[in-house]
Amino acid sequence: MSEKARFTLCIQQKGVNERFERAFNELLDQNTASTRDSKQVHKERLVLTSLNNNKHYIMDDS
């Protein structure tokens, strides 16, 4: 393989790597946001469940 061909291949590979890295980072960001949203929903459910359970206890005490 000639020097020019190797250089061209190297540049092409660098471009592929950069595109892959951008796509990977976008997926990672989406996954992180999704995980964060999922954790937030879980926390909210726990709070609502706790509030609902406490409401029953308050009603029982009346």
Which 8-state DSSP code applies to residue 1? -
How confident is the model over 33-59, as pLDDT tens digits? 888 788 887 888 888 777 777 655 444
How confident is the model over 1-31, as pLDDT tens digits? 788 888 888 888 888 888 889 888 898 888 8
Pull the structure tokens for residue 11: 């540049």
Pull the structure tokens for residue 47: 């709070």
Map tokens 């250089």 to a residue.
7
Predicted model pTM: 0.50
Query: CA torsion angle for 43, 44, 47, 53 (degrees, to 10)?
Result: -120
